[in-house]
Amino acid sequence: MELYKLGLSEAKKALDKGEITPLELTDAVLGRIESVEGAIGAYITITGEQARARAGKMSPEDIKKGPLSGVPIAIKDNICTAGIKTTCASAILKDFVPPYESTVTRKLDEQGYILIGKTNLDEFAMGSSTENSSVRQTMNPWDFQRVPGGSSGGSAAAVAADECIAALGSDTGGSIRQPAAFCGVVGFKPTYGRVSRYGLVAFASSLDQIGPITKNVRDSAILMNCIAGHDPADSTSARMDVPDFTSSLGAEIKGMKVGIPKEFFVDGMDSAVREAVEAAINQMESLGAEPVEISLPHSQYAVAAYYILATSEASSNLARYDGVRYGLRVEGDDLVEMYQKTRKVGFGSEVKRRIILGTYALSSGYYDAYYKKAQQVRTLIRQDFEEALKKVDVIVTPTTPAPAFRVGEKTEDPLQMYLTDILTISLNLAGLPGISIPCGLTPEGLPVGLQIIGRSFDEESVFKAAYAYEQSTEWHMKRPLIKAAQV
């Protein structure tokens, strides 16, 4: 078997037994990148030389120090890595090299991981297709004419194409789960506050959360064990004990109440997606789970509320890019002109659109009508989930209303692009944990994702349900067949 096809837990087992070395595994992954990256474009920066150097120095004792020791992992390029470029796929940060390490990558480093590269994304994580990157368009490994999703499209495509063993992404409105669904891999968004955001370049600070993108559920739980926990450097980080997320894997789901929200099976949903998700619910029922119809009545307002709150926070956060302290600078006759020229050249059209929307929503005379009202709707959405999760253990929905769409199909209609996240956004507004796992293929051979949602800080129930379903099917074992002719 080609070593690059291994999952995290499989690779670690082989490393611990001495069946393979970190350098052999790293070389296999870098060879895979060399073979297919030209067609897929998952990476912005590939750290091959550094990865080989670290892997080559690892002794047998080093390999056994942590659950990630010797494992090549990719990091989304909006997560700071000291001494390595972090561009957010934006021209304004094209040559930015952080002087500090994010908390999540520091934790991975302490566990002995090997950074294989920084992955592509929609600029500043603003998008659903990775078409907003200033660097390149990432392609979906299942169909090179289609998008991989976004904004963590590079991470999802890299995992699906075996260009890394696992990856980290960030999720503000579905940016881990939606590309995971489009690319047929597992994407997990933790509870807000479970994972430190220190070193994550901010888009919308009350919504952003870092999480894993992996080849299976067990690998996701292992990565969560490594990155979760309180961080004094992040004021929104929760002071909560971190359980062993792998401990619930393998437990029966007999008697588990599974909520099915009627509002999430929306009009216009692709029939193949609906059929795959309904089959998945039936499969969970055959394992002993008890489906319960529930209602989340305010979820219909989630997209509208999200695009007021997220853009408002983006407007505030992106004000720091002024050409004065770091990043791109375009000189002008005075300070104001320098600001204008720098931002005109440095920001792409979608980022500008969201800054304008957010600035308008926060402006005098409109604040109460838009931002304040959206916060009130957010509270109602969270209350809906809290009430529903008193009656059920988890909630099950489609991850996306349709499979991956074609490159360029929605770029001229921002509203249609925004609606691709209609089933994921409400979790970020409510701060809840959710996972997307493969549950089928469309007649065209495109992956379908099943979303499982849990109570706040009850990631174990999400992993338990996801693992039980995953192990009873073979969807997670399906991989795109990338032909030499395509590459």
What's 175's DSSP letter? Answer: T
The residues with which 117 forms a beta bridge, in sequence order, are: 46, 74
| Same domain (yes/no): 248, 319 | no
Measured CA to CA, the distance from residue 52 to residue 113 in angstroms comes to 12
Place of tokens 């495109």: 446
Cβ proximity of 168 and 222 under 8 Å: no
| Same domain (yes/no): 14, 142 | yes
Q: Does a structural domain hold residue 365?
A: yes
* Predicted pLDDT of residue 414: 87
Q: Does a structural domain hold residue 279?
A: no
Q: Does a structural domain hold residue 277?
A: no
| Same domain (yes/no): 230, 331 | no
Beta strands 72-76; 166-170: pairing state = parallel
Kindly report, residue by residue over 439-461, the tens digit of the pLDDT. Answer: 999 999 999 999 999 999 999 99
Structure tokens at 433: 């944990």
| Same domain (yes/no): 93, 181 | yes
The full 3-state SS of 262-295, as one line of letters, equals: HHHCCCCCCHHHHHHHHHHHHHHHHCCCEEEEEC
Q: Does a structural domain hold residue 188?
A: yes
Kindly report, residue by residue over 188-222, the tens digit of the pLDDT. Answer: 999 999 999 999 999 999 999 999 999 999 999 99
- Distance between terminal CA atoms of the chain? 21
Cβ proximity of 410 and 401 under 8 Å: no
Q: Which of 318, 342, 375 is the last residue of a domain?
A: 375
**The pTM is what?**
0.97
Query: b vs e for 447-460, b when ≥16 Cβ sit within 10 Å of the residue's Cβ?
Result: bbbbbbbbbbbbbb
Number of domains within the chain: 2
The whole domain housing 367 covers: 300-375
Q: Does a structural domain hold residue 15?
A: yes
User: What is the CATH classification number for the domain harbouring 128?
Assistant: 3.90.1300.10
Average pLDDT of the segment spanning 329-352: 96
| Same domain (yes/no): 139, 32 | yes
Average pLDDT of the segment spanning 401-426: 93
| Same domain (yes/no): 250, 317 | no
Average pLDDT of the segment spanning 341-345: 96
Kindly report, residue by residue over 112-130, the tens digit of the pLDDT. Answer: 999 999 999 999 999 999 9
Structure confidence at residue 486 as a pLDDT band (50, 70, 90): low
Give me the active site residues, please: 76, 151, 175
Cβ proximity of 68 and 74 under 8 Å: no
Sign of torsion over alpha carbons 318, 324, 328, 331: positive
* Predicted pLDDT of residue 484: 52
Structure confidence at residue 341 as a pLDDT band (50, 70, 90): very high
Query: What ranges in 405-484 are assigned the alpha helix state H?
Result: 414-418, 425-430, 459-471
Cβ proximity of 177 and 128 under 8 Å: no
Q: Residue 38 class from Cβ within 10 Å (0-12 exposed, 13-18 middle, 19+ buried)?
A: exposed
Helix axes 349-362, 302-317, angle to 10 degrees: 100
Q: What is the mean pLDDT of the chain?
A: 96
Query: Is pLDDT of 85 > 90?
Result: yes
